[in-house]
Chain A
């Protein structure tokens, strides 16, 4: 929605939509719902065997503890960053209606909207793809399927003159975008610009700033192996964790 808001600065605040109304309606329904549904159902952060052996991990998610403010704000800011990149990336490319196509014709208003929404759909789904750690065939199906569906839908919607529709605003727009070489250069650029922070965050988080779950799993494994070496760069927090961990596992084993 942020690109929509940003566009208002450029259209005299007249509430002109950036996206065609069909896209608006279908966006939440088709382009983004299935992938996240599959993610929710099928994602496995830790394997079953780990969880069965180490049930203490379930404590971490009790009482919705992970739905905290900090991560939420972090995700929101990331979303805003994406929106700015989509919008201004597309805008700077089309700016001043510089000739987009080889034969000199210029971009139009709906091309901007479709370009922004294309970037949006692809980024959102690819971001989910990066976050998914447990890829079943269903995940492949919904994520790649959604992207393919988006392309096919755009081609159909803008490819024919639909008699029951009052407005044929998007006629030929998607094809026009596809035939513009600049657009083919822009979309991968925007995708990478949006996903790089995501990827960096994941790598850093996993390897260098591991969360409690990982620390516990590693500590537990070391315990099983009978090691006594400290967990990580020795900080007080980690040391406390190990001792409390030892206590908890011992007590849980004794109650079983």
Chain B
């Protein structure tokens, strides 16, 4: 026995009134902060007091980075080399570099025209890999007639070396792993011969290769090349004063694009390399805050009493 729903008598006339909830009636409990000179002035002075000494500290630290003392790093630098050009940046196959064997034999089309030479695929493919820096730099200390011991590992990002770049299987026989591919066009030796003495630094996980593949942001850049081995005698404190000779095995052509090459020796501090920018920026911002604080303070003193009403008029 169905009871019919009697619409006429049971329902009120439909109403457009929104529900009486806190949200719909805009009655949510709220915090209503007011930004007045009274709150802002102390904040500005606090910022100034913190920033200016911090900036001075940073500046001193940066200037104190004594080149060639402590752990010394050797970089190579290039200028007028646009590693950040769009076509260049795209020209790589990260899956191939991750060791995926299907990508090894069949690299992505982004690598074109450095994907294959018509018959065999390039390993690694792409313009970035193709243009890898291949000069060899050696440093000789004339005082003791020794070559400065340089480490070629520990120069790439940990995440790159251990995750992003992986050799295709089998890992212990790279020549077999890379069978069916060929070396990039501009390279003189194939990828599995980048460092035959060290299996953890050969193939795709070669650190020089990894460092090169991390594209730089600007056309003038430097990349980490070697670290001075401080566990060797004579060099445990960095590079001693004296005459040095740089020996360059010149393979990398830069004249065609008006590029320049350079070698840089530097150390780092707890805040990275030598860069006075941060210290100067902190001092600047701190001083600006201080000046603004003073200006606001003067204005506040002159007109403060008369304006307190206006503060109350907002939101009460």
Q: Chain A: residues with CB nearer than 8 A to chain B?
A: 10-12, 14-17, 42, 44-48, 50, 89, 91-112, 130, 133-138, 161, 163, 166-169, 171-172, 175-176, 180-182, 185-186, 189, 192-193, 196, 199-200, 202-204, 206-208, 210, 214, 217-218, 221, 232-233
In the complex, the answer to whether B292 meets A200 with C-beta atoms within 8 Å is yes
B315 at the interface (CB under 8 A from A): yes
B73 at the interface (CB under 8 A from A): yes
| Chain A neighbourhood of B211, CB < 8 A | 105
B303 at the interface (CB under 8 A from A): yes
B2 at the interface (CB under 8 A from A): no
Distance in angstroms between the alpha carbons of A163 and B98 in the assembled complex: 10
Q: Chain B: residues with CB nearer than 8 A to chain A?
A: 26-37, 40, 44, 47, 51, 54, 58, 71, 73, 75, 77, 82-87, 89-90, 94-95, 98, 108, 110, 154-157, 159-160, 163-164, 211, 214-224, 227, 266, 268, 270-275, 277-278, 281-282, 285, 288-289, 292, 296, 299-300, 303, 306-307, 309-311, 313-316
Distance in angstroms between the alpha carbons of A61 and B31 in the assembled complex: 25
If the complex has contacts A99-B272, A189-B282, A210-B310, are A166 and B110 also in contact, measured as CB distance less than 8 A? yes
In the complex, the answer to whether B86 meets A14 with C-beta atoms within 8 Å is yes
Distance in angstroms between the alpha carbons of A232 and B310 in the assembled complex: 10
Nearest-neighbor residue (CB-CB) of A166 within chain B: B108
In the complex, the answer to whether B85 meets A218 with C-beta atoms within 8 Å is no
In the complex, the answer to whether B274 meets A10 with C-beta atoms within 8 Å is no
Distance in angstroms between the alpha carbons of A108 and B224 in the assembled complex: 12
Output the least CB separation between B254 and chain A (Å).
16
In the complex, the answer to whether A214 meets B224 with C-beta atoms within 8 Å is no
For chain B, what secondary structure do more than half of its interface residues adopt (helix, strand, loop), or is it mixed? mixed
> Per a CB cutoff under 8 Å, which of B36, B44, B75, B266 touches A207?
B36
| Chain B neighbourhood of A99, CB < 8 A | 73, 224, 266, 268, 272-273
| Chain A neighbourhood of B26, CB < 8 A | 42, 44, 48
Output the least CB separation between B41 and chain A (Å).
9
Q: Which 5 residue pairs spanning A and B have beta carbons closest together?
A: A172-B159, A99-B273, A16-B86, A168-B94, A104-B73
Distance in angstroms between the alpha carbons of A47 and B312 in the assembled complex: 11
In the complex, the answer to whether A172 meets B35 with C-beta atoms within 8 Å is no
In the complex, the answer to whether B285 meets A97 with C-beta atoms within 8 Å is no
> Per a CB cutoff under 8 Å, which of A96, A196, A218 touches B221?
A96
| Chain A neighbourhood of B73, CB < 8 A | 99, 104
Nearest-neighbor residue (CB-CB) of A136 within chain B: B28
| Chain B neighbourhood of A93, CB < 8 A | 275, 277-278
Distance in angstroms between the alpha carbons of A105 and B221 in the assembled complex: 12
Nearest-neighbor residue (CB-CB) of B308 within chain A: A207
A selection of 6 A-B contacts at a CB cut-off of 8 Å is: A12-B219, A46-B314, A97-B221, A138-B28, A182-B271, A185-B278
Distance in angstroms between the alpha carbons of A133 and B33 in the assembled complex: 6
Distance in angstroms between the alpha carbons of A214 and B30 in the assembled complex: 21
In the complex, the answer to whether A171 meets B303 with C-beta atoms within 8 Å is no
> Per a CB cutoff under 8 Å, which of A16, A166, A185, A192 touches B94?
A166
Distance in angstroms between the alpha carbons of A104 and B72 in the assembled complex: 9
Nearest-neighbor residue (CB-CB) of A175 within chain B: B159
In the complex, the answer to whether B275 meets A182 with C-beta atoms within 8 Å is yes
In the complex, the answer to whether A112 meets B271 with C-beta atoms within 8 Å is no
| Chain A neighbourhood of B98, CB < 8 A | 161, 168
Nearest-neighbor residue (CB-CB) of B110 within chain A: A166
| Chain A neighbourhood of B90, CB < 8 A | 167
Nearest-neighbor residue (CB-CB) of B28 within chain A: A136
In the complex, the answer to whether B277 meets A105 with C-beta atoms within 8 Å is no
In the complex, the answer to whether B216 meets A106 with C-beta atoms within 8 Å is yes
Distance in angstroms between the alpha carbons of A163 and B103 in the assembled complex: 12
| Chain B neighbourhood of A97, CB < 8 A | 216-218, 221-223
Output the least CB separation between B224 and chain A (Å).
5
Distance in angstroms between the alpha carbons of A96 and B77 in the assembled complex: 9
In the complex, the answer to whether B314 meets A45 with C-beta atoms within 8 Å is yes
In the complex, the answer to whether B278 meets A207 with C-beta atoms within 8 Å is no
In the complex, the answer to whether A106 meets B223 with C-beta atoms within 8 Å is yes
Distance in angstroms between the alpha carbons of A193 and B95 in the assembled complex: 41
Distance in angstroms between the alpha carbons of A214 and B27 in the assembled complex: 22
| Chain B neighbourhood of A208, CB < 8 A | 299, 303, 307
In the complex, the answer to whether A104 meets B303 with C-beta atoms within 8 Å is no
| Chain A neighbourhood of B35, CB < 8 A | 130, 199, 202-203, 206
Nearest-neighbor residue (CB-CB) of B82 within chain A: A12
Distance in angstroms between the alpha carbons of A201 and B192 in the assembled complex: 62
Output the least CB separation between A107 and chain B (Å).
7
Output the least CB separation between B236 and chain A (Å).
17
| Chain B neighbourhood of A189, CB < 8 A | 51, 278, 281-282, 285
| Chain B neighbourhood of A167, CB < 8 A | 90, 94
| Chain A neighbourhood of B266, CB < 8 A | 99, 104
In the complex, the answer to whether B84 meets A10 with C-beta atoms within 8 Å is yes
Distance in angstroms between the alpha carbons of A193 and B280 in the assembled complex: 13
If the complex has contacts A99-B272, A104-B155, A185-B282, are A10 and B218 also in contact, measured as CB distance less than 8 A? yes
